[in-house]
Amino acid sequence: MEPTLDRLFVDFSDKRLRQYSLEIEKCLAKLSNEQIWARGSGNENAIGNLVLHLCGNVRQRSAAVAGREYVRIRHEEFSATGGVSTQELTDRLRVAVEEALAELGRLSAGRLAERVAFGEFDQAILEVIYHMEIHFALHTGQIIFATKMMTGEDLGFYKPSQSATK
């Protein structure tokens, strides 16, 4: 039996959140605490800030899907200058993603069009998930780029296919 469009969307969203989260964890494991909290200038975010920001965003959005209240203090995600260890950042990210994945797993097709209001947003659940995915991908890319700049390493996330190299 072919999967339904709603299951394709939810399953793909689940797969990507897992992938991005693991890529961020791999980056965090390669960096010192000083590198995680380094800022080039006052208007830049450290990798640690981006991870805190992703945790806040994902938790806010998964709570909205679940119909739970979630109080987010967004400015604290960006104002932090340290004080959160690599392990704690990793753990917070895992918990936030697992909560979101649990909510995705409970969704029915009919709920994707249901509107939810949270913070300044009023969106269909499908839009909530889509925005969460894009947002997570954007900041994952920033974290990967910063990690490559700091370590000079190819992180090995994307290998060209054999046919692409011929």
Helix, strand and coil in the chain, % to nearest 5: 70, 5, 25
Which domains, from first to last, does the chain contain? Answer: 5-165 (1.20.120.450)
Global pTM reads: 0.91
> pLDDT, tens digit, for every residue of 123-149?
999 999 999 999 999 999 999 999 999
Contact 96, 54 (CB under 8 A): yes
**Within 10 A of 71 (CB to CB), how many other CB atoms are there?**
6
Amino acid at 158: Y
Q: Say whether 154 sits in a helix, a strand or coil.
A: coil
> pLDDT, tens digit, for every residue of 70-105?
889 898 999 999 999 999 999 999 999 999 999 999
